[in-house]
Amino acid sequence: MSEQKTIALITGANRGIGLETARQLGKKGVTILAAARELSRSEAAVAELKKEGIDARPIKLDVDNPADYKAAADKIEKEFGVLDILINNAGIMLDGRKGNETSTTSPEILKKTFDTNFFAVVALTQTLLPLLKKSKAGRIVNLSSILGSNTLHATKGSFIYDAKTFAYDASKVALNSFTIHLAHELQGTNIKVNSAHPGWVKTEMGGEGAMLEIEDGAKTSVALATLPDEGPTGAYIHMGEALPW
């Protein structure tokens, strides 16, 4: 990617899948910008990564605070001059878990979910795109979910057919649309844009009943962040397999 170092910015890198993604990329020699809502949380994550010999740097980036976007871009421009990998990992789920509550999902829950899971991703990516365009092999990874598959949601008998969390699901559908549209715009460039489904992972969001350990949950993001030139773009991937939109 960049001649001297490969630089990766990961949002929500202070815990869960984000931190594990930072760990796995760092062990591949990638310099990690471990973004977190609060600088202290980023610094704690960086200290943990450095104990494992990883080149990690703290950066305050609250995805719900647009003022942080330009500050992050300016910092990256000044210190590295390029960004090779952007992993839009930060996200929230505010829906209840009592079954399908679409008819009672409040406008406030919808707005807050979309602000973090969709609008923030679009705005941050747009801000950092000039730096990604300087990379010899820019990679954008949008952390989606299988719950963003309209095809599976509409297919009776699919394993997510009865898993309806309206605000979260809809935000991931919108995120997938962003992936498709941005990848199309950037076709013919050195930048690849893909959506990643990490799997049902044992995180604070996934819960203890989830099927995958955090180590496995980071694998798809890491693979998409390090795609070779012949790799896909505009795809929706889990563990190397394409998912239905």
Catalytic residues: 168, 172
Q: How many CB atoms lie within 10 A of CB 29?
A: 10
| Pair 36, 13: CB distance under 8 Å | yes
Question: Do 100 and 21 form a contact (C-beta atoms < 8 A)?
Answer: no
Instruction: Note whether 21 and 218 are within 8 A (CB).
Output: yes
Q: How far apart are CA 156 and CA 161, in angstroms?
A: 6
Q: Answer yes or no: are the C-beta atoms of 16 and 204 closer than 8 Å.
A: yes
Alpha-carbon span 38 to 18, nearest angstrom: 15
Number of neighbouring beta carbons within 10 Å of residue 215: 12
CA–CA separation, 16 and 213 (whole Å): 10
